[in-house]
């Protein structure tokens, strides 16, 4: 992935990262499941008594070392936005909702599931916009891509999708080790994230290609 100086894509990426942190805060409060990376980091942060934002930044910084060593082309503005901002956005909005939204909204079945499903949809859309802004990949997402390339070089017949599945499974296992139990949100994320990323990608590619043709 090439590093680009494109103000429109950078702005789009920044907005998407804001959306990820914003809607992630609702998913965390609903406690019905998140993406595997958040599940892992939230589990570790809760166990060791560190804020989610700080733990997420530390884990991403550690993973970033591997990306810098093996494939710097995966990095861009979006890498920094994701690894630094998403966790802190989620912490900030978590604090805000704790003061302005009754706790019952995240406990009673009807409002809890309503908030969860709406937030899950818009979180996935935000992730899809982020990925398709082509502004760099978060370290957590970059490493399985790099590993997959190395595996495919040595074992061309190895199913490429298994690397990402195993990577996410490892994150879930780490989360379980640190005391959390994966629930429905992780499954829904796995089912719908890929298709929505593809759909949003087609829309954004069409939009940017149209702009280029009009220039």
pLDDT at 213 (0 to 100): 52
User: Helices marked H in 71-108 — which ranges?
Assistant: 77-100
Per-residue pLDDT tens digits for 99-128: 999 999 999 999 999 999 999 889 888 888
Parse the chain into domains and list their residue ranges.
Answer: 7-214
First vs last C-alpha separation in the chain: 24
Show the CA angle centred on residue 46, arms to residues 93 and 65, nearest 5°.
Answer: 85
Per-residue pLDDT tens digits for 47-63: 999 999 999 999 999 99
Average pLDDT, the chain: 86
Is the pLDDT confidence value at 36 over 60? yes
């Amino acid at each position: 992935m090439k590093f680009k100086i494109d103000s429109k894509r950078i702005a789009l990426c920044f907005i998407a990262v804001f959306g990820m942190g914003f809607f992630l805060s609702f998913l965390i409060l609903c406690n019905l499941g998140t993406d595997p990376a958040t599940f892992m980091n939230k589990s570790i942060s809760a166990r060791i008594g560190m804020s989610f934002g700080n733990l997420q930044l530390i884990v991403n910084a550690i993973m970033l070392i591997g990306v810098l060593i093996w494939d710097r082309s995966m990095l861009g503005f979006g890498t920094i936005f994701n690894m630094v901002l998403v966790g802190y956005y989620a912490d900030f909005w978590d604090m805000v909702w704790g003061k302005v939204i009754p706790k019952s909204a995240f406990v009673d079945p009807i409002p809890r599931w309503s908030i969860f499903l709406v937030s899950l949809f818009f979180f996935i859309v935000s992730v899809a916009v982020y990925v398709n802004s082509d502004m760099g990949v978060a370290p957590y997402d970059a490493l399985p891509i790099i590993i997959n390339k190395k595996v495919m070089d040595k074992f061309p017949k190895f199913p490429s999708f298994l690397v990402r599945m195993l990577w996410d499974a490892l994150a879930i296992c780490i989360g379980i080790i640190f005391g959390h139990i994966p629930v429905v949100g992780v499954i829904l994320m796995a089912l719908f994230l890929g298709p929505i990323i593809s759909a949003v990608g087609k829309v954004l590619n069409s939009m940017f290609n149209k702009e280029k043709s009009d220039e």
